[in-house]
Amino acid sequence: MVERVEVGTIASVGQDYIIWQNGAKKLCVTFADDWMSKEDRAESFRAFIGKDAAIPVDGPFFIALDFLPGYFDGTARIIKLHHKVASVVAF
């Protein structure tokens, strides 16, 4: 299955959220508690500040941090990380 993603970076990490940015577009992704606390979930992204991260153009939310060569020219395969999120807000 082919999915369209938008690639940006993890711009910063807060107490229970991350800021994803692609140029002027910024999203605040606030995590929700599940088997891992929302604070721990956000903290797990601290090592990835400034690194490329993909999010879906449409469909269920995920974050992808790993990019592998695609099967066709101009494509990439990604490894999706599904996290329980409370909100995704553009600002």
Q: Where are the domains of the chain?
A: 5-90
| pLDDT-above-90 percentage for the chain | 80
pLDDT at residue 1 in the model: 67
Tens of pLDDT, residue by residue over 30-69, are: 999 999 999 999 999 999 999 999 999 998 899 999 999 9
pTM, two decimal places: 0.89
| Helix, strand and coil percent figures for the chain, each rounded to 5 | 10, 50, 40
